[in-house]
C-alpha cells in the first residue's frame, strides 16, 4: 500500500505529459527548431519553481512525510560523461521525439511502435553497463 | 471540463511537473525516469554479465510503479481527456517537415513516417526506432540522467554536471534535427 502514492503521482505525470503534448514528437522537433516557446516555457517554469523546492529542502523547511531530512543526491562530476552521454541522449531524444518518461506515457496512449524504442533504450542501458569501464567519464 | 480537454499551456504543465518532483522528494524518493532502464536490466538478469547490474532492484519498485502510473495516465488522457488528437504547430514547422518528407505534421501526436505499424515493420523503420532507443538509453545512463534527472532536478539544484549534460542534450538534439533528420526520410 505504501506504493499507491507513487502510482497516483505517476498518473498525474502521464496526464500532464499527454495534455501538454510533451509526448508529441512534433513538440520536440519544434523545440530544436526554435519555432515555439512551449517546451522552453515548460522546462523553464518547472526549473524555476523547482529551485524553491530545493531551497526549502536544503534549509530543512520541508521534510519527507515521515519527518526525515530531504537530501538531493549530487550528480556525478565529469566532463566526458556528462557531455558525451548528453550528446548521445540528445541525438536519440530528437530522433525518437521522446525521452524516457514520455516513452512510457505513449505506451498508455496505445502506440505499439514505441515498444521498439523502449526495447532499444533498455539495451542501450545494458550496453552502457557492459562497456562503462572502457568509456571516458 | 473544457479547460481540461483543451491542450494544457506551458504555464500549467511546468508547475505541475515541479509539483510532481516535489511530491516524489516529499515521499522520500527522487525524480528520475531513465534509472528504470537499469532496473529492467537487473530484473532481466544483466547482473550475470557485469556487476554494474547486480543491485537490489527491489528498492526501485516505487519507480517502476511510478512508470506504471505514467502508462495509466497516458491511457486515461487518450481515452477521456483528449477529444482531438491533433497538435497545433507553427506553420513554418509544418512546412519544414514537409520539406524533409514528413507529411501532415500535427494531424496526430506522432508522425506515421516514424511510428505507424507499417513503418515499424519495415527494416529501415524498425532500425530507426531501435537506434533512437539505443542512443537514449546509452546516453542517459552515461550522462547519469535524462530530462527528469538532469534538466528538471539537476538544474533546479544548480548542478554543474546537469548544466553540462543539458548542453549536451541540445548539441545532440540540434545536430539530429537540423542535419541528420533531413537525410533519413
Mark the ranges of chain A whose per-residue pLDDT is less than 50: none
Whole-number pLDDT of residue A10:
98
Neighbours of A70 (CB within 10 A): 18
| Residue B46 DSSP symbol | G
Taking CB atoms and an 8 Å limit, are B87 and A33 in contact across chains?
Answer: no
Which whole-number Å values give the CA distances from B182 to B77, B96, B177, in the listed order? 32, 10, 8
- Checking if the pLDDT of B57 tops 80, the result is yes
Grid cell for residue A85: 552521454
How far B71 CA sits from the closest chain A CA (Å)? 4
Distance CA B132, CA B155 (A): 25
Contact A13, B70 (CB under 8 A): yes
Neighbours of B47 (CB within 10 A): 16
Distance CA A107, CA B79 (A): 13
- Checking if the pLDDT of B1 tops 80, the result is no
Taking CB atoms and an 8 Å limit, are B115 and A14 in contact across chains?
Answer: no
List the single best residue of A2, A4, A8, A14 to mutate versus B (max B Cβ within 10 A).
Answer: A14
Whole-number pLDDT of residue B2:
78
Distance CA B129, CA B115 (A): 8
Over the stretch B81-135, which tens digit does the pLDDT of each residue have? Answer: 998 999 999 999 999 999 999 999 999 999 999 999 999 999 999 999 999 999 9
CA B64 vs. chain centroid, Å, equals 15
Please indicate if any CB of chain B lies within 8 Å of the CB of A69.
no
Query: Complex ipTM, two decimals?
Result: 0.97
Which whole-number Å values give the CA distances from A27 to A3, A34, B45, B78, B80, in the listed order? 32, 10, 36, 17, 22
Q: Is the pTM of this model over 0.90?
A: yes
Average confidence score pLDDT of chain B: 97
Contact B157, A78 (CB under 8 A): no
Q: Which of B25, B53, B156 sits opposite A70 (nearest CB)?
A: B25
Grid cell for residue B119: 513503418
DSSP 3-state of B175 = helix
Please indicate if any CB of chain B lies within 8 Å of the CB of A44.
yes
Distance CA B19, CA B7 (A): 19
Residues in A closer than 8 angstroms to B80, CB to CB, are none
Taking CB atoms and an 8 Å limit, are A45 and B62 in contact across chains?
Answer: no
Task: Give Cβ neighbours of residue B144 (< 8 Å, ≥ 6 apart).
Answer: A75, A76, A81, A82, A85, B150, B161, B165
Over the stretch B139-157, which tens digit does the pLDDT of each residue have? Answer: 999 999 999 999 999 999 9
From the list B114, B81, B79, B83, the residue with the least C-alpha distance to B97 is B114
Taking CB atoms and an 8 Å limit, are B24 and A9 in contact across chains?
Answer: yes
Which whole-number Å values give the CA distances from A31 to A25, A43, A102, B50, in the listed order? 10, 11, 15, 37
From the list A101, A124, A7, the residue with the least C-alpha distance to B153 is A101
Amino acid at each position: 500500500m505504501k506504493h499507491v502514492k507513487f502510482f497516483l503521482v505517476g498518473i498525474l505525470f502521464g496526464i500532464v505529459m499527454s495534455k501538454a503534448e510533451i509526448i508529441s514528437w512534433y513538440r520536440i522537433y519544434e523545440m530544436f527548431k526554435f519555432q515555439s516557446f512551449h517546451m522552453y516555457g515548460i522546462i523553464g517554469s518547472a526549473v524555476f519553481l523547482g529551485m524553491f523546492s530545493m531551497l526549502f529542502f536544503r534549509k530543512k523547511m520541508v521534510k519527507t512525510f515521515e519527518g526525515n531530512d530531504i537530501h538531493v543526491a549530487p550528480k556525478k562530476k565529469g566532463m566526458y560523461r556528462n557531455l558525451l552521454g548528453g550528446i548521445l541522449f540528445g541525438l536519440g531524444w530528437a530522433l525518437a521525439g521522446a525521452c524516457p518518461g514520455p516513452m512510457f506515457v505513449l505506451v498508455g496512449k496505445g502506440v505499439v511502435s514505441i515498444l521498439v524504442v523502449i526495447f532499444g533504450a533498455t539495451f542501450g542501458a545494458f550496453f552502457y553497463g557492459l562497456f562503462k569501464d572502457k568509456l571516458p567519464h | 471540463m473544457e479547460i481540461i480537454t483543451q491542450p494544457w499551456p506551458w504555464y500549467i504543465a511546468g508547475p505541475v511537473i515541479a509539483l510532481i518532483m516535489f511530491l516524489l522528494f516529499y515521499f522520500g524518493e527522487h525524480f528520475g525516469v531513465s534509472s528504470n532502464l537499469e532496473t529492467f536490466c537487473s530484473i532481466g538478469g544483466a547482473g550475470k554479465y557485469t556487476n554494474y547490474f547486480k543491485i537490489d532492484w527491489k528498492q526501485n519498485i516505487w519507480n517502476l510503479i511510478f512508470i506504471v502510473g505514467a502508462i495509466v495516465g497516458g491511457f486515461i488522457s487518450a481515452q477521456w481527456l483528449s477529444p482531438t488528437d491533433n497538435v497545433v504547430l507553427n506553420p513554418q514547422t509544418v512546412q519544414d517537415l514537409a520539406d524533409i518528407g514528413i507529411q501532415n505534421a500535427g494531424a496526430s501526436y506522432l508522425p506515421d513516417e516514424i511510428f505507424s505499424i507499417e513503418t515499424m515493420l519495415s527494416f529501415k523503420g524498425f532500425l530507426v526506432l531501435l537506434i533512437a532507443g539505443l542512443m537514449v538509453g546509452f546516453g542517459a545512463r552515461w550522462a547519469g540522467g535524462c530530462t527528469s534527472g538532469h534538466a528538471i532536478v539537476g538544474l533546479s539544484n544548480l548542478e554543474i554536471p546537469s548544466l553540462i549534460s543539458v548542453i549536451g542534450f541540445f548539441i545532440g538534439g540540434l545536430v539530429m534535427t537540423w542535419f541528420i533528420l533531413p537525410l533519413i526520410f
